[in-house]
Structure 1
Amino acid sequence: MKRKMIVAVFLLMSSVLLSACSGLSHADDNRIQIVFWHSMAGPPLEALNKIVNDFNQSQDEIYVKPEYQGSYEESLAKFRRVGGTDNAPNIYQAQDIGSKYMIESGDIVPVQQLMDEEHYNMNQLERNIRNYYTVNGKLYSMPFNSSTPVVLYNADAFKKAGLDPNKPPETYSQFREAAKKLTQANKGMKGFSFLNYPWFFEELLAVQGGEYINQNNGRTGLATKATFNSQKGLNIFKWLREMQKDGTLANYGTSGDNESSGFLTQKVGMFMSSSASMAEMFKNAPFKVGVAYIPRPDNIERQGVVIGGASLWLSKGKSAKEEKAAFAFMKYMASPKSQADWHIHTGYFPINPGAYKEPIIIKNYKKTPQFKVAVNQFHDTKSTYATRGPMMTLMPQSRVIMSRAIDDLYQGKNLQQSLDTAADHVNEAIAQMNLANKK
């Protein structure tokens, strides 16, 4: 009996300890439980858990249970297996390029439906972010972790190279010259690195006003062909090839971790990264980190950037009570306070413009004004089909194809041919999918 008592006490204490480590409160049996699948890890996971815990403690009717499902790709594969069944989560976080699949799956309830029922004020959401997740006038998901690409640079290395850290380069030629000076002035440093992550190619295309696929980036009709192999796509490849010939371009392949490490150890002076990485870079860099807009060709006016990240989707087939409870949590996540905390602790943008009035952001911007650069770039974006981003079910597959084209670039192959080959492969995949959908 005594041994059983000891075991019971041990199990109870273990449960308490696990609860403390997770930072999450426990559900009350009388609450409506909402299962929330997400793909956040590292600092974003800590920030997310805090928001969830604050929500759970703010009321006694709803309990949100967050469940990590691996990367966006791993999570989407899991959702595909359970979507539309009782095993589906109430809320699912899907990557931006998974939006077309989610809409066509038939396994979701458009968030617009709940917004209309509750007369939710859409102006609480940033217009440029809403635009990405709106198709045919309907908002399908609640924006959440929104990011854009920025250029992060070593401000101390800039000074050493005779560059003004308060005036970072803006155009391709300016970046090329800055990369040369950084490489020459800082032993063991390459001036710039470009990760083989096709999202950056898509963004450099959009900043020129270039569309990735036809039918206005798939926004006004079903896309039938790729258009990224245009002159604007070639501009990007030519610029990278020029810096490669200059000996100023570092190649980290597809490893974002290695590229970040290269920057922090001062082997790279400038690189493109997600704004979501800013907080971590500011914290860990042994030098001052500067933030700049992504580059554009010299003779083309800047159009802006496309929102990246992910949004929250409501699963179909849940009870009306669960739907309303899930939407209540979404609204809490979108509130100014939640978004302000999320922004400062991660670098993701506030989806609610009211967040910029929160004391935590005002105070942080005075301390770290670099945060504002990414926000300004986002707010300077013109609303066009190019900057709303491509809407196509095959975007994940297209990125795999484009990754091969970027690899060809680094291997010295013909630039236009590499782009055309990638476009041909995407066109084949589009034709097969469109034909299958007609049957």
Structure 2
Amino acid sequence: MRFKSHLITVLFVFFLLVTVGCTSKTSGAINEGNESSPDTAANTTNESTNEEPAPEGKTEVVFWHSMGGKNGKTLEKMIQDFNGSQEDIHVKPIFQGSYGDSLTKLKTSLQSSSGPTIMQSNFISSGPMIDTKMVRPIQDLIDAEGYDLSQLDQNVLSAYEMDGQLYSMPFNASTLLMYYNKDMFEENGLDPNNPPQTYEELEEAAMKLTGEGKYGASFSVDSYFLEQLFTVQGAELVNNGNGRQDLATKSFINSQEAIDTFTWWKKLVDDGLMLNLGTNTEDTHQAFLSEQVGMTLASTAGLTNMLEGSKGKFELGTAFIPYPEAKTGAGGVSVGGGSLYIMNNKSEAEQQAAWEFIKYVVGAEQQGHWYINSGYFPVNTDAYELPEVVETLAQFPQFETAINQLEVALENNAGSNAGKGPVLGVYPDARTITVEALEKVLNDVQSPKDALDEAAEEITKKIARYNQTVQ
């Protein structure tokens, strides 16, 4: 089984130092989520820490989160509403910075009870979080209560299921979309309601959009983006069922799907059809919003910002992420974002109180509110029937693209681990190496195959070292 390991605290401290240390190397290394990443909200400063003690007689639940800015305010309003809705529990939110910052702080609390009751963590940290043996499987609480999971998005749940159970509860979910400028499409003889679906169609569209200082596209050199372009082709990133059937032992980053994607990406840049702005996702998105480029990639969590940034300038379009014509997109997209863990070093009363809060925030009403105000799509599908959500979708049809893409992904992912995403203890390391590989290709240092072969070998070595700590 994937997580039958005997990791002790000191070893977790070691690999957290490695994990968090590598996340500062490139913006692509810390993506999705989601720091300088598609989910840009996680990296925005939020000064509120709500350090006031819980009212007397209430069970206090300390909640460490990484939602800043508008998303942080939305989350804290949800917490205030929960605290006022009953008399027994008081949730205290504490913003801990990015997901990487939060993990750094968690490692210092492992030897004591000073840490959180609930920890928000991003998807790429699923393996390390579970390997700590410090989390209470959410499945325990689900089974004890007979909690109905049918109301939750099955595609999202499948991403977080390990060994047939949920260790955490999905909360802020997102996927990758292609964004395009409908006005630029129309001005250049392209159908604004028929965006490109394949690599080949995107290249053809980029040829028409490029000229007079403008480019067809600009994609940030971002590992999350690359993973999704591989995943939509049905490619797994590591062996052993993408690390879900057993500990991964080998990287598949040098798959033919990856080689084809690197080759296509480089050709677009070399032909002057794609503006390469490196690893800074914010620069790429700004180039798109300033109408310097016609197409870009970004998370669904950035849709609200994209709508605000394009307002009064051009009509924003959203589309599925592209795939090679020879493929079918059979893998579907994988889910990004974060989930909520309950730490097992707290009292049973605190853990039960944490469970009550988690059920509240994944309820249909709260998920609808979260969706409208944050851009993360609801993990509770009943939220789509709420009048305010129906109204939002009618007003902003761009939101529907993510929903439709997920439905297609769920259909295509039957029996496949590709679209569920990899479970990998050295995930942040692997992302850094993947970004460096593409940079070598774009800078004519190595061919796509040589760069990816070298990357796969390096990632595989890191996996072996990690596995030694958990076995």
Contact 1:24-1:53 at 8 Å conserved across structures: no
Shift, 1:124, TM fit? 2.0
Aligned equivalent of 2:422: 390
Amino acid at match of 1:126: D
Secondary structure, aligned partner of 1:380: helix
Choose between structure 1 and 2: higher helix proportion.
1
Q: Percent identity?
A: 39
- 1:317 matches 2:342: no
The 1:275/1:191 distance shift into structure 2, 3 A limit, reads same
1:376-407 alpha-carbon deviations (Å, 9 max, x no partner): 00111022210011111111111111111121
The 1:25/1:280 distance shift into structure 2, 3 A limit, reads farther
- 1:258 matches 2:290: no
After alignment, is 79-88 or 342-351 more displaced? Answer: 79-88
Alignment partners' CA distance in 2, 1:309 and 1:227: 23
Shift, 1:435, TM fit? 3.1
The 1:171/1:234 distance shift into structure 2, 3 A limit, reads same
Trace 1:277-426 onto structure 2 (pairs within 5 A).
Answer: 277-285=302-310, 286-303=313-330, 304-381=332-409, 382-383=412-413, 384-412=416-444, 413-426=446-459
Amino acid at match of 1:267: Q
- 1:180 matches 2:207: yes
After alignment, is 28-37 or 95-104 more displaced? Answer: 28-37
Trace 1:153-302 onto structure 2 (pairs within 5 A).
Answer: 153-184=180-211, 187-285=212-310, 286-302=313-329
Shift, 1:314, TM fit? 0.2
Amino acid at match of 2:164: G
Amino acid at match of 1:98: S
Trace 1:89-128 onto structure 2 (pairs within 5 A).
Answer: 89-128=116-155
1:336-379 alpha-carbon deviations (Å, 9 max, x no partner): 01111111222211101101001111001111111001110011
Secondary structure, aligned partner of 1:401: helix
Secondary structure, aligned partner of 1:418: helix
Contact 1:84-1:316 at 8 Å conserved across structures: no
Alignment partners' CA distance in 2, 1:341 and 1:24: 22
Aligned equivalent of 2:19: none
- 1:65 matches 2:92: yes
Trace 1:22-37 onto structure 2 (pairs within 5 A).
Answer: 27-37=54-64
Contact 2:136-2:342 at 8 Å conserved across structures: yes
TM-score normalised according to structure 2 size: 0.86
Q: Which has the higher Rg, Structure 1 or Structure 2?
A: 1
Secondary structure, aligned partner of 2:393: helix
Secondary structure, aligned partner of 2:210: helix
Shift, 1:76, TM fit? 1.1
TM-score normalised according to structure 1 size: 0.92
Shift, 1:163, TM fit? 0.9
Aligned equivalent of 2:33: none
Question: Number of paired residues?
Answer: 416
Trace 1:124-143 onto structure 2 (pairs within 5 A).
Answer: 124-143=151-170
- 1:431 matches 2:458: no
Amino acid at match of 1:132: A
Shift, 1:43, TM fit? 2.3
Shift, 1:84, TM fit? 5.6
Secondary structure, aligned partner of 2:150: helix
Secondary structure, aligned partner of 1:388: coil
Alignment partners' CA distance in 1, 2:103 and 2:110: 10
1:199-238 alpha-carbon deviations (Å, 9 max, x no partner): 1111111100001001110111111111120111111101
- 1:50 matches 2:77: yes
Alignment partners' CA distance in 2, 1:88 and 1:118: 26
Amino acid at match of 2:392: N
1:143-195 alpha-carbon deviations (Å, 9 max, x no partner): 001110000111111111111111000000100111111113xx322211121
Aligned equivalent of 1:4: none
Report the aligned-residue RMSD: 1.6
Alignment partners' CA distance in 2, 1:169 and 1:183: 15
Contact 1:56-1:63 at 8 Å conserved across structures: yes
Amino acid at match of 1:418: A
Alignment partners' CA distance in 2, 1:63 and 1:437: 36
Shift, 1:105, TM fit? 0.3
Shift, 1:97, TM fit? 0.7
Q: Which runs of 5+ in 2 are unaligned?
A: 1-46
Amino acid at match of 2:158: N
